[in-house]
Amino acid sequence: MDSITHLFLGGAIAAAIAPAQHRRAALMAGALINSLPDVDVLPLLLADDPLDRLLWHRGLTHSVFLLPLLGWALWAFFKRRGGRVAQFPRRWFWLFQATLLAHPLVDAFTTYGTQLFWPLPLPPVALSSIFIIDPVFTLILMAACLFAWFARERPLGSRALHVGVSTAALYLALSLGAKWQVERAADHALVAMGLPDAPRMSAPMPFNLLLWRVVAMTPEGFVEGQRSLVADRGEMRFARFQSDVQALAAVGDYRAVQRLAWFNRGFMKAHEHDGQLVLSDIRMGLEPDYSFRFVVAARQAQAWREVPVQQLRWPWEASGRLKDMWRRIWREPAVPRRAAAE
């Protein structure tokens, strides 16, 4: 999730656990504690390899094996210093643990995913049920923190925090329910297209849970479809897109390609641009614009030559895309005449 959401998530959880007289201090401490796992972005800024910056983020500092140890170390340090932690050591112990672990767990709901079980060589856990920036989720937690801040030690603050944290958890559960509903519609359509066993993934479109995107891999490339939980009632429709599968197979043993496939689980498009082979993570973005695109090879006669990895800029026209997305939430596209006849 984005940094602002982590501030309010940590503040709400910490203040809900802390004694009432420590509530304001816990709001501030929780915001800081929940943000700690993202310190990994600082050394990654110095990395020359763009794949290192992509793949090492949400790794070591997001591990459910290491964060409890960090939480214990922080708790022990502040307990020895006296003050609030020493007054209520049990409450603050669980405050450190819950606030730290909430960070990678909520990150795992995004499409980018989180290496929860680092150092085990498992792909990132990516439930893909919530966009990395979700205003509704953030506002729920923000409201709880503001109520608690101004309520000080009054019971209203405690109620606001418990309602806020519970509502945020319910929102995450609803995101999984929405995902299940979308994938059920996608399954029916893909079976009709002769793709019952195609690898597929679904994810919400930016900033909402109402409009979803589904991608399924095919032998020639992939298909992409959208589903509005508000407007769509008919069969889900998919558009077909090509990928240079021969080129992708030719460079499959390159270390960079294998690292990308580990990260994106094979949801990858290959195409040639100006004599270079570009691999795009098709889970994040919308055809033809994707968040992560990398040059991994250059054409040499009739073959490919491995080159240092280069990350390309994201050419997404955000303003136009967002307007189209908003309209798509509320309006199901008309069925093309040929499709209706079939």
List pLDDT tens digits, range 245-256. 999 999 999 999
Q: Is the pLDDT of residue 75 over 60?
A: yes
Answer for the pair 31, 7: CB distance below 8 angstroms, yes or no: yes
Q: Is the pLDDT of residue 341 over 50?
A: no
Q: Which helix (H) or strand (E) holds 281?
A: strand 276-281
pTM of the model: 0.92
Q: How far does Cα 39 stand from its chain's mean position?
A: 18
> Sheet of 303-311: strands edge to edge?
268-273, 276-281, 293-300, 303-311
List pLDDT tens digits, range 123-178. 999 999 999 999 999 999 999 999 999 999 999 999 999 999 999 999 999 999 99
Q: Which helix (H) or strand (E) holds 223?
A: strand 221-228
- Supply the DSSP string of 104-140, one letter for each residue: HHHHTTSSS-B-TTTTS-PPPB----S-SS-HHHHHH
Q: Is the pLDDT of residue 339 over 50?
A: no
Percent of all residues in the chain with a pLDDT value above 70, rounded to a whole number: 96
List pLDDT tens digits, range 187-222. 999 999 999 999 999 999 999 999 999 999 999 999
**Average pLDDT in the 224-234 region?**
95
CB neighbour class for 167 (10 Å; exposed up to 12, middle 13-18, buried from 19): middle
